[in-house]
Amino acid sequence: MKPILLLLLPALILASCQQPVDNTKVLQNRIDSLEKKVADSYKPGFGEFMSSIQSHHSKLWFAGQNNNWKLADFEIGEIKEALEGIRKYDTDRKESEQLVMLNPAIDSMSGAIAQKNPARFKSAFHLLTATCNNCHHAVSFEFNVIKVPDASPYTNQDFNSGDKK
């Protein structure tokens, strides 16, 4: 047994003294491959975000008109989330820089919802709608006019349901 160990000992010593393999090129290739996958992955465009905001704007109105404050809170949250998505994915668009003008209107709407105040909600909604249009003017999309909805396109949603307290 000892002679075998004596023969293996030099081999183990030599093996431990070898220079580590340089994996830099392999790792760089992997990084490059992953960066390409990330660059090619789906990122919502500005129009998708705006369409989402328009949809939630409409639902927000009908939730507020029916004193469905939980739904209204959800919808203003969805609008905020879409705006965050624009700030994250569409930083190269000049329109993204103008989104800050929406903050006071969003804050006003959130406050009205938190207070469950129908009159304040209506006023805040009109402010939000006007601010959307002001933003559209600021970025030369004045042809895209948002208004208070007069009919729900969502015939499959009951805006009266939910805890209205």
Residues 82, 154 contacting (CB under 8 angstroms)? no
Q: What's the Cα-to-Cα distance from 64 to each of 56, 86, 145, rounded to whole Å?
A: 12, 25, 21
Tell me what pLDDT residue 6 has. 60
- The CATH classification number of 46-138 equals 1.20.120.290
Which is it for the CA torsion 144, 51, 86, 123, positive or negative? positive
The CA-based dihedral angle spanning residues 126, 72, 61, 67, taken in that order and rounded to the nearest 10 degrees: -100
pTM > 0.85: yes or no = no
Residues 63, 109 contacting (CB under 8 angstroms)? no
Tell me what pLDDT residue 83 has. 96
Instruction: List the chain residues with pLDDT less than 50.
Output: none
Tell me what pLDDT residue 71 has. 97
Buried b (16+ CB within 10 A) or exposed e, 29-53: eeeeeeeeeeeeeeeeeeeebbebb
Tell me what pLDDT residue 54 has. 97
